[in-house]
Amino acid sequence: MICVPVPEGRHLIGHCDGPRVNNQSDAADGHSMNLGMPIRAIAFIGLMILGGTWVLGLPLLHWSSHDPLKFACYLIIAVLASTMKVKLPGMDSNMSVHFLFVLLGVLELSLAETLIIGCMAALAQCFWKQRPDPIKLAFNVFGMTPIAIGVTYEVYHELAGILHNNMGLLLVAAACTYFIANTAPIAIVISLSERRPLRGIWRETYFWSLPFYLVGAAVVGAINFSARFVGWESGLLVLPIMYWIYRSYQLYLGRLEDEKRRVEIEEMHVRAEKRHVEEVCALHLRTIEGLALAIDAKDHTTHAHLHRVRTYAVEIARDMGLSESEMDALRAAALLHDIGKLAIPDHIINKPGRLTPEEFEKMKIHPIVGAEILEKVAFPYPVAPIVRSHHERWNGEGYPDGLKGEEIPIGARILAAVDCLDALASDRQYRKAVSLSEAIKVVADEAGKSFDPRVVDVLERRYVDLERIANESMQVPPRDSCSYAQVVERGRMPGNGFEANGNSDANQKDFLSSIASARQEAHTLFELSQDLGNSLSLDETLSLVAMRLRKLVPYDSFVAFIRKGDMLLPEFVTGDHCRQLSSLQIPMGTGLCGWVAWNDRPIVNGNPAVEIGFEYDPQAVNEPRSALVVPLEGVNGIVGVLALYQTATDAFTSDHLRILQVVTSRVALFVENALKYREAESSATMDYLTGIANARALSLHLEQELARCQRESGTTAVMVCDLDGFKKINDRYGHLAGDKVLKQFASVLTSMCREYDYVARMGGDEFVIVAPNMPPDAAGERAAQLSEAAKHAGLDACGADFLSLSLGAAFYPEHGLDAEQLLAEADRAMYSAKQRHYEKQAALGRDGLDSIELATAS
């Protein structure tokens, strides 16, 4: 007698929400079928039920029984055997034995009798100690079981003649057939539901039970052999033997369970000891992390950066199959890889621009210093070699030792790629962050050059998943932080009439921010004081102030208002609400900024809604609700104000005001100097009479325009025009009238040109127009319009109807490649046009001409 173990408890993936049906057949006892399974699985189950009903019904219509007593005995024993199920230890499986009597029926009974035995045993198995589901019941009793028995019965009797009644081979064939027919349908249902390969499911889940079927076939053969000499009644002795084996195995399993509980208790003690060791190691690692964060605060390294680098590196190491010791070393190295930067001066670490060769040579010592520091620590795993080599490159061009390929420790190769990826995807003082997808492209381009291709391959394949893991593991509330500006209040202050400050955490920072901000403030103020004197351009100066200041005083909007008479006008605006803030014109003494300028006193957390001309919407989320405004006081009084805005209420602190006042004490002087420089520069490049650019400004602009054309392969037109008859106006009406004509013509000329055209006065009555991307036909149309404008300028200024225009044009690059050549060609064309003009004038015998044609350089 053999007990066949059957897997139990598996349900189809993706269909565990609805009611489940446990399949209790021999090979599939315990499998769950879900009413929400895919249509294809439901269709297969329906086909099985239809096929099984047909297989069961057809023999029953032709019922025959040669020995009813024998049939009844086998049926009773099979039903009793189906209730003897033992759960196997260590797995979700049962053992059932009625398979033996199905094979006995195949050998000794008719098909109808064998079907009744198998189906009744399956029915009893479904109802034993549980409430069956209709689908399970139908699939087992009317589907799979009849089909398996029918196929096995036909195979056995068809092969009987072929194999000449060789009992051994026939039993093996019957057992194998029944095994396949009884396990394949369940495997097919699972495959259809889970979209997994049928062959893999069947091999992994059921193939292991084939030996039990074969052993069961041997037992059946022995019973059949004894029945030939003793009679079929000897088979009845199987039931007591089965029960004895069943009870013995239950007692054996009970002892196994006791032993298992004892082992579990021992394992629990081992796990407790292991957990204690892990807690000590975690404490060690957290200590390392805290020290690393405090050290790296000078480099503005954030906890998020170190956490992501460590998470990425460990996950990649696990993916590449590194040992636990190597991963422990990598965890520590990921936190401490930049500890050597203690030996690098702050101005090099925090430099916002590219390092000089000398500065880079100094920076290159930090892996060596870091490794030397860590060699003093008795790590149980090799941390120092990883730190020393984390700037080595796969092609041997790294530092400090020039290692290449496999010479570089695997931990250092992983750390190099991960650190580069996160550095690219994080904001740094010398550049803005790029997206993670762009960063991974940069790292991928360096595979085989800077980085190990295997590491890059893992990064490319898993970077999205790694970023998700890092972000999820960061969703932990921060531990209690240290305050650098804790205020202890022994009692509440009496009401003093001021509005309460709702930002109770405004002066609270964690210890890392305290370390970083102290260094950053000194460094930024030092840089700002150095950079302020590098330019006299007001825009450059204010842009520099805004950029440097943002590191110390966070803001959403920055506005520098300059005083012009009794008004404050926005000179430089950056951040949110640029358009609205740029349109403000604030009278002195009114609104927020006007009050600060008038009273020469700063305001902290002022209300931006009171600003004159500012359209404030209290319902909008991004509206500014806090303002920090500080006056700019120069040598000769207030030159303007600096205003910083934030969307949060009470966002600015007294510390922010202190920093801003330190900055503005110097900024005001440079703003005053920049205004004077702008005025001087304007007078040097502007024609005093007409207010347009002069010859010097024209030369500078034309050089810039030609450089643009060369970069972009563009074109530009240079048109030189001269007022014909202007000398007569000076002679007849005086120079004041001539000046009036020049000013009016310059004004009309500027209004007729495009916004990006450039108009300048070369001197006397000669003007130049620089028109980017203007074709010759458009230049001809422009010439006619300008001639009409010159005529009207003479009429409007002094009533003279003899003023006209001569105009010549040269085009880049056809007529010249530099400013001097283009001006000379255009001027030559203009004089040719003037000569033709005078010839026509002499031929017609009158002062003016009604039309003009454009002369183009040849």
Burial of 357 (0-12, 13-18, 19+ CB in 10 A): exposed
Residues ≥6 apart with Cβ < 8 Å to 634: 668, 669, 671, 672
- Indicate where the chain has its CATH 3.30.450.40 domain(s): 515-684
How many other CB atoms sit within 10 Å of the CB of residue 441?
Answer: 13
Among the four given CATH numbers 1.10.3210.10, 3.40.50.300, 3.40.1350.10, 3.20.20.70, the one describing domain 300-473: 1.10.3210.10
Cβ-contact 848, 804 below 8 angstroms:
yes
Burial class (CB in 10 A: 0-12, 13-18, 19+), 194: middle
Residue 11 is predicted with a pLDDT of 36
Mean of pLDDT values over 670-689 = 72
Instruction: Identify the bridge partners of residue 7 per DSSP, sorted by sequence position.
Output: 93
CA atoms of 639 and 771, how far apart (whole Å):
37
Q: Tens digits of per-residue pLDDT, 335-349?
A: 888 888 877 776 677
How far CA 369 is from CA of 226, 300, 387, 468, 696, in Å, comes to 88, 19, 9, 34, 57
Backbone angles phi, psi at 770, to 5 degrees: -105, 115
Q: Is the pLDDT of residue 19 over 50?
A: no
pLDDT of residue 532: 64
Q: Provide CATH 1.10.3210.10 ranges for the chain.
A: 300-473
Q: For residues 7 and 93, is the Cβ–Cβ distance under 8 A?
A: yes
pLDDT at 409: 92
- Taking only the tens place, the pLDDT of each residue in 306-356 is 778 888 888 899 889 888 888 888 888 888 888 888 777 766 776 666 777
Where is average pLDDT lowest: 119-123, 149-153, 508-512?
508-512
Strand 93-96: give its sheet, edge to edge: 4-7, 93-96, 86-87
Output the average pLDDT for the chain: 75
Q: Which amino acid is at 796?
A: D
542 vs 843: which has the higher pLDDT: 542
Before 400, cis peptide (omega within 30)? yes
Say if residues 586 and 594 touch (Cβ distance below 8 Å).
yes
Q: Span 539-559, mean pLDDT?
A: 83
> pLDDT tier at 849 (50, 70, 90 boundaries)?
very low
Kindly report the CATH number that applies to the domain delimited by 689-856: 3.30.70.270
H helices of 686-818, in order, are: 695-712, 726-733, 735-752, 776-798
Among 175-189, 462-476, 495-509, 540-554, which is the least confidently predicted range? 495-509
Where exactly does CATH 3.30.70.270 map onto the chain? Answer: 689-856
Split at pLDDT 50, 70, 90, the class of 153 is confident
CA–CA dist 148, 171 (Å, integer): 15
Element holding 44 (H helix, E strand): helix 39-61
Cβ–Cβ under 8 Å, residues 327 and 314: yes
Q: How confident is the model at residue 839 (pLDDT cuts 50, 70, 90)?
A: confident
Does residue 775 surpass a pLDDT of 80? yes
Dist. CA 270–CA 481, nearest whole Å: 35
Tell me the per-residue pLDDT of 96-128, one tens digit each, with 9 for 90 and over: 666 777 887 788 788 888 888 888 888 887 777
8 A C-beta contact, residue 799 and residue 687: no
- Determine if residue 623 is left, alpha or beta; phi over 0 gives left, psi from -120 to 50 gives alpha, anything else beta: beta
362: which 2 tokens?
Answer: 């100094």
pLDDT of residue 285: 66
CB 696 within 8 A of CB 684: yes
Return the pLDDT at 51. Answer: 86
Residue 668 token pair: 């005001």
Q: How far is residue 666's CA from residue 660's CA, in Å, rounded to a whole number? A: 10
Give residue 279's pLDDT.
74
Tell which wins on pLDDT, 602 or 34: 602
User: Do 209 and 27 touch, CB atoms closer than 8 A?
Assistant: yes
Pairs from 811-814 (Cβ < 8 Å, separation ≥ 24): 811/715, 811/716, 811/717, 811/718, 811/776, 811/856, 811/857, 812/706, 812/709, 812/715, 812/716, 812/717, 812/718, 813/709, 813/715
The residue whose two tokens read 């198995």 is 125
% of residues, the chain, pLDDT over 70: 74
What residues does CATH 1.10.1760 cover in the chain?
4-257
Contacts of 544 (CB under 8 A, 6+ apart): 528, 531, 532, 535
Which amino acid makes up residue 234?
S
Q: Is the confidence at residue 536, as pLDDT, over 60?
A: yes
Residue 355, CA distances (Å) to 347, 363, 564, 825 in order = 10, 9, 41, 47
* CATH superfamily, with its number, for domain 515-684: GAF domain (3.30.450.40)
Give the distance from CA 521 to its chain's centroid. Answer: 31
Q: How many other C-beta atoms can be found within 10 angstroms of the C-beta atom of residue 741? A: 25
Q: Does domain 4-257 have CATH number 1.10.287?
A: no
pLDDT 10s digits, 200-237 = 777 776 676 677 777 777 777 777 776 676 666 665 66
